[in-house]
Amino acid sequence: MTIAPTTRTTPKPIKIILLTGYLGAGKTTLLNHILSNEQGIRAAVLVNDIGEINVDADLIARGGLSEMGGDLIPMTNGCLCCTLSDDLSRQLGQFAAACACDYIFIEASGICEPIPIAYTISSYCDQTKNASRAPLDLDNIVAVVDCARMWDEFNGGKDLLADDIDEDDLQSLLIQQIEFCTTVVLNKVDRVTRAQVDELREIIRSLQSDAVIVEATQGDVPMDQLLDTDRFDFERAYNSASWLDAMAHPEEHEDPEVLEYGISTFVYERRRPFDIDKFSDFVTTWPQEVIRAKGQLWVAQDPDMGFLFEQAGRQTTLSERGLFIDSAPEDTKRQLIADNPEVMGDWDDVCGDRETRVCFIGRHMDTEALADGLDACLTEWVPETE
């Protein structure tokens, strides 16, 4: 009697895609583009914001992740490259144990250094190779670059090639994000000329000789440039002397967003609406120390609608986010509250869920002066009575 040898089926690896890039480069837009694809991929998403409110996580959820049956894990009040590294390993372990997704997308904060994050991910991936659960595989590190901002604020990228860049300069952070990646997405190419794109591409290539460079408008990148690329090779990255030092001495790189780059966050919250004209004027004059602003505005000219405000460098956008629950008819309002009971945790007896809540990220910000300037744009609001 011959006994056939048993075969052990190896679980299909769960691919990890890490998205990096400076504040406002378009990482969330790119991620929503991926999640809205028609390939039916099962995805889990980790989103890291250094502020106490995670606007990107909410935008991704609204972008369709929940419709795909995926998991969204917001990670706030810290940075994946230092204070949240243990949380990152724990979340990856839970995803591996569940085997319920094909891909894990990790959107790093705009001021994260990519090397320690890749080190944490790669180390954990190695631990899963011989386990019975699905192994994890870091497949692609995507650095998103804002072409328009490079020309507006960094001399078309030439500032990244200066010979007097200090470790705590923002140029140093951008260089690290570009150098340590496998795919570079030159985003917002529609906002610059062809010649400017070509020149920036040459500068990127001088910093990153191996990565695939892809051009995009509004984060629209072909899926085959993002998924299943097998581009990341840890040994190649590890053999670089500058990267080796950062991974071998992670304790020297703690809290880079505060200690090394002088960047901090400030959350502005008010239960009064803005006069949109005054606010628009203030945006054009507010301190240059403000690097990035993102959040919800309550506007007196349309008090029932919540607006999403985004500012990155000189670029600002304002778009409708959705009606406030308190603006709905009473029967509808009661049902919405029953379906979303968590809104009552921040409900106001007069304003309901109407409020302005914006997270500012800046360098050496005078938050008191910033708040005073914003307060000067507020106006009174009287609720309608039946």
Of residues 310 and 375, more confidence is placed in 375
Could you tell me if residue 383 is inside a domain?
no
pLDDT exceeds cutoff 90 at 139: yes
289 and 219 share a domain? no
Contact 321, 296 (CB under 8 A): yes
11's enclosing H/E stretch is none
209 and 322 share a domain? no
Could you tell me if residue 329 is inside a domain?
yes
190 and 263 share a domain? no
Contact 107, 48 (CB under 8 A): yes
pTM score of the predicted model: 0.69
Instruction: Give mean pLDDT, residues 215-233.
Output: 91
Angle of CA points 226, 228, 232, to nearest 5°: 80
What's the number of domains the chain is made of?
2
149 and 258 share a domain? no
Write the CB contacts of 103 (distance below 8 Å, at least 6 apart in sequence). Answer: 14, 15, 16, 17, 41, 42, 43, 44, 227
Instruction: Give mean pLDDT, residues 150-179.
Output: 86
Could you tell me if residue 2 is inside a domain?
no
Contact 145, 176 (CB under 8 A): no
Write out pLDDT tens, residues 180-221: 889 999 999 999 999 999 999 988 887 887 889 999 999 999
pLDDT exceeds cutoff 60 at 82: no
For the four alpha carbons of 324, 325, 327 and 332, in that order, the dihedral sign comes to positive
Mean pLDDT, the chain, whole residue set: 78
Amino acid letter at 224? D
276 and 226 share a domain? no
Domain limits at 167? Answer: 14-239
pLDDT at position 383: 78
Q: In Å, how far are 16, 323, 383 from 328, measured between CA atoms?
A: 41, 8, 13
Q: What's the CATH number where 28 sits?
A: 3.40.50.300
Amino acid letter at 247? M
Could you tell me if residue 342 is inside a domain?
yes
pLDDT exceeds cutoff 50 at 222: yes
Could you tell me if residue 5 is inside a domain?
no
Instruction: Give mean pLDDT, residues 269-283.
Output: 94
Tokens of 314: 């000189």
pLDDT at position 214: 96
Contact 12, 228 (CB under 8 A): no
Q: In Å, how far are 207, 237, 263 from 365, measured between CA atoms?
A: 30, 35, 8
Instruction: Give mean pLDDT, residues 31-39.
Output: 77
Could you tell me if residue 7 is inside a domain?
no
- The DSSP letter of residue 260 is I
Residue after which a domain boundary falls, among 239, 265, 292: 239
pLDDT at position 7: 41
What is the DSSP pairing of strand 305-312 with strand 290-298? antiparallel
pLDDT exceeds cutoff 70 at 63: no
Q: How confident is the model at residue 2 (pLDDT cuts 50, 70, 90)?
A: very low
Tokens of 243: 């990267």
Q: How confident is the model at residue 240 (pLDDT cuts 50, 70, 90)?
A: very low
- Which residues lie across from 305 on neighbouring strands? 323
Instruction: Give mean pLDDT, residues 118-133.
Output: 78
Q: Give the whole-angstrom CA distance, residue 238 versus residue 197.
A: 30
Residue after which a domain boundary falls, among 193, 209, 239: 239
Could you tell me if residue 8 is inside a domain?
no
